[in-house]
Amino acid sequence: MSVVARGLSHAYGELRSLESIELEAQPGEVVALVGPSGCGKSTLLELACGLREPTAGTIAVEGSADAAGRLSHCAYMPQRDLLLPWFSALDNAALALRNRGAGRAEARSRAGELFERFGLAGFEGARPQELSGGMRQRVAFLRTLVAGKPVLALDEPFASLDAISRAEMQEWLAGALRADGRTVLLVSHDLEEALYLADRVLVLSARPGRLVKEVRAPDPRAADRDGAVTDPAFVAAREEALRALREGAHRGAAAPAVPYDSYMGIRNSSEGEEG
């Protein structure tokens, strides 16, 4: 097993974000997490990457349950691309290598090979601000890949893109993931995206996030996105997931509401902890 969570729970102070999550991901499997906003999807990724500690239960990545071990086995691609404007696209992609002490030339040549493979050839020297939204996301994805970790945690990678570039990028990412064969945890709020990219989709309820349903993506899927999403099996799977999502949202609404003050307090304390 590449990723194993057992009874995984997490709370920000009083605010419970995840409850009793059971999750297993096989090596090379793409598992998508969908759910209403605030259901703890991103928290789950941060737990997997060792950026946070569970309040209860365990999560292990490639057999490591401690934060440092998870951090070394799981690469994180945040929602915003967070490309550094003072570095070229190539230097951004090579960041992990440089951080581990590789020389500039070596890091560049190793990251540069991937530029060719992922349709970014010719843009090595471009600054992030000169790239389109879709290309920035590609560079951010390469940066995650180049880190060379067995598990990728992708947090709504295309949320910031317009519909057309998002569809294009989904096709691109589907191809990239097929070619690379790494274990992926993908957070999305878009069922179509989740079912198109993932092997399995886990539907979470509203806060605190619990597993409501697991939906298998139809297999095999057409490589082109339009073909895949109009396939009857795909449509059926989407309906199934959508129903589960609706139920989960209602279940969440029945839970006691969190007082506004405590929510604000938690926001502040989590900001302070990062700063």
Q: How far is the CB of 142 from another protein (least distance, A)?
A: 12
Q: CA-CA distance, 70 to 8, in Å (whole number)?
A: 15
Of the ranges 18-26, 67-75, 252-260, 261-269, which one interacts with another protein (CB under 8 A)? 67-75
20 near another protein (CB under 8 A): no
Q: CA-CA distance, 140 to 151, in Å (whole number)?
A: 15
76-110 in b/e burial notation, b at 16+ Cβ within 10 A?
bbbbebebeeeebbbbbbbbbbbeeebeeeebbee
- Provide DSSP, 74-110: EEEE-SS----TTS-HHHHHTHHHHHTT--HHHHHHH
Specify whether the CB–CB gap between 234 and 228 falls below 8 A.
yes
Among 28, 69, 78, 112, contact with another protein (rule: CB under 8 A): 78
Looking at the Cβ atoms of 51 and 222, the one nearer to another protein is 51
18 near another protein (CB under 8 A): no
Of the ranges 13-21, 98-106, 174-182, 235-243, which one interacts with another protein (CB under 8 A)? 98-106
104 near another protein (CB under 8 A): no
Q: CA-CA distance, 40 to 10, in Å (whole number)?
A: 9
Among 71, 159, 222, 242, contact with another protein (rule: CB under 8 A): 71
What track of x and - describes contact with another protein for positions 115 through 154 (by CB under 8 A)? ------------x-x-------------x---x-------
Tokens 């957070």 correspond to 187
Specify whether the CB–CB gap between 262 and 14 falls below 8 A.
yes
Question: Which residues contribute to the site for another protein (CB under 8 A)?
Answer: 49, 51, 71-72, 74-76, 78, 80, 82, 84-87, 95-96, 98-100, 127, 129, 143, 147, 271, 274-275
